[in-house]
Amino acid sequence: MTTVGYWFVFLALAYTALLISIGRIARRKAAGGSGYFVGGRNFSTLFVTVCITGLFSGSSFISIIELSYLKGVSAVWYGVAETLQVLLIATLLIAPFRKKLVITVSGLIGDHFGRKARALGGAITAFAFPMWSVATALAFASALHVFTGISLLGSVALTAVLLFAYLQFGGMWAIGYTQLLNTIVFYIMLAVGFLAVFIYPGIDGLKEFAAAKPQMYSLSGAGVQTIVAWFGTFIVNVVLAQAAFQMALSCRTPEEGKRGLLWAAILGIPLIIGAVVFGLAAASAVPEETRGLIAIPQYLMQTLPAPLVALFFLGFWACALSWGAPCQFSGATSLGKDVGEAVNPGQSEQTYIRYTKWSLALLTVLMVVFASLRAEQSAWWNILAWVTRNSATFAPVLAALFWPLATRRAVFAAMAIGSFTGLFWYHLSDWKINDFFLNTHPVWPGMIANILTLVAVTLVENAGRIAWNPDAGRATLGQSCLAIGVVAAALTALNFSWLYEKGLLGLGLFIVCISAFFALMTFTASRNQKEAYNIPEKKTASAR
C-alpha cells in the first residue's frame, strides 16, 4: 500500500466511524414510521439542500471528472442536464407531491392502481436501485485501487456494508445528517483539487493544453447525440426520481422543499466546474491513460503531498456514499414498505420498518453480487437500471398524476410489457454499453411500449365510457401537445437516416409518442369521473 493509501485508510475509517455514530444518534428521531421513511416530514431547507446536493452533485462529480478527462469541457453538459432536472422537480412536482404525502413512486402507483401494481412497481424499483449504487461504488473503487490495492469487489463490499450499518438505525434522519457531512467534505475536496490545479499545470498549462488539443475545449466534444441523450434522460427522469422525492418530500412545507432544491442546484455549480477543470488538468498531466478514474489519482499523487491526496479522495468516498445511501434506502422502502403493504396489508408502521430493514440487508447483498458479476463496466449497471425502472414506471406515474381513466389492468400490463421490451431490446444489443440494437438505446423502446400498452388497454376497457373533455384550457394544452407530436413526427420522418445514424431515432419516436399521450390525456375524460379533472358539468338548456 502506498503512503497515500495509509493516509486514506486512516481518514476513511475515522469518517466511517463518525457516520455510523450519527446513524445511531438519528435512531431516536426515527422511532415512528414517518420518522424512519420521511424524517417525520420535518426536514428544514438546509436538510433538503444537503440531501439533494449529496445525491446529485456526488454522483455527477464522479461522472463529470471522468468524462472531462476523456472528452474535455463538453462534460459540463452532463452537469447542466442534471441541474435542469433538479430545477424542474422544484418547479413542477414538489408542491403537488408534498400535498399528496408521496413517499415513493411505487407507492404513488399503488395508491391509484391497487395492490398488484404496488407490488410489481415496488419490486422493479427496488431491484434497480442497487444497480445505480454499485455503478457509483465501482467508479470510486477504480480510483481507490490505485493507491490502496483494495480490489474493486472489496471496495464495493465495504461501501455496501457501511451503508447498511448507518441506514439500519436512523433511516431518513441518518441520510439527512450524513448528507450534511458529505456536502462539507465535497467542498474540502474541491479546495484541494483547485490547489492541485494551480500548482500544476496552472492556468498557463491549461492554456497550452488548449492550444495542443483544441478538441478538448469543444462544447460538443462528447458528441451531439450523447449530449442530447443526457438531457433526454434527465428530463424524462423528472417524474421518476424517487430517491430525490423521498428526501425532498421530507420537508416541513412545500416551500422549504422547493427552496432546498433550488439551493442544491446552486451548490452543485462549483462542483460541476471543479470536476471539469480537474479532468482537464489530469488529461494534461497524464495523457496516455484510457480511464479517467485511474488517471486522476495518478495526477494528484505526482502533484500534492500524500495527506492532501488522501483528503481529496475522502471526498470521492463521500460522493459514493452520498449517492449510494439514498439509492439503497429508497429501494429498500419500495421493497419493504410498498411490496410489504401489497403482500401483507393492514400491518403497523413498525412492521413495514422491519420489512424495510430486511430489504436493506437483501439489497446490500445484491449490490455486492452485482459488482462480482460485472465489475469492469460501471456504466453498464446505470444503463440496466434506467432500462428496467423507467420502462416499467414512466407511463403509470403520468397516469396516476394526470389520467383518471387509466385502469389497474392497463397499468399492470404496461409495467410488465414495458420492462420486458426494454430488457429484451438490451438482450438484442448483446448487453453492450454503447452499441445498441438498431442503434437505439433500449430505454426508448421500453418506455414507448410502456405508454402504448397503458393507452391500448385503457381505451379497450373504457370503451363506451370515454367523454370529450370540454375544458377550454385543457383543450389548448392538448392542441399544443398534438401540434408538437405532429411536428416531431414530420421531422423524424424527414430526417430518419440522420437520426438513425446519430442514435437519436428512438428519442425522436419517443417524443412523438409522449406528445400524443399528453394530448390524449388532455382531450379525454370519463363520463362518470369528470370531477377528477375538476371540470363542472355544463348545464343543459332544459336545466337552465
Residues in the chain, pLDDT under 70: 23-35, 38-39, 101, 147, 169-170, 376-377, 472-474, 528-544
Q: How far apart are CA 150 and CA 152, in angstroms?
A: 7
- Report the pLDDT value the prediction gives residue 473, as an integer from 0 to 100: 64
Q: How many whole angstroms separate alpha carbon 60 and alpha carbon 538?
A: 51
Tell me the pLDDT tens digit for each residue of 430-463: 998 778 999 998 999 999 999 999 999 999 999 8
SS3 readout for 446-489: HHHHHHHHHHHHHHHHCCCCEEECCCHHHHHHHHHHHHHHHHHH
- Distance (Å, whole) CA 376 – CA 282: 21
- Same domain? For 330 and 475 the reply is no
Angstrom distance (rounded) from CA 78 to CA 230: 6
Q: Residue 249: what pLDDT?
A: 82
Q: Are 447 and 498 in contact (CB under 8 A)?
A: no
The answer to the question of residue 136 being in a domain is yes
At residue 461, the pLDDT reads 93
Q: Judge if 253 and 368 occupy the same domain.
A: yes
Q: What is the pLDDT of residue 472?
A: 56
CA distance 236 to 514: 10
Residue 383 lies in a domain: no
- Domain hosting 303: range is 3-376
Q: Are 387 and 449 in contact (CB under 8 A)?
A: no
Instruction: State the pLDDT at residue 34.
Output: 54
The reply to whether 388 falls in a domain is no
Residue 465 sits in the same domain as residue 318: no
The CATH number of residue 244's host domain is 1.20.1730.10
H/E element, 188: helix 152-199
Q: 43: helix, coil or strand?
A: strand
Q: How many domains does the chain have?
A: 2
Do 215 and 330 share a domain, yes or no?
yes
Q: What is the pTM of this model?
A: 0.86
If asked whether residues 365 and 284 sit together in one domain, one would say yes
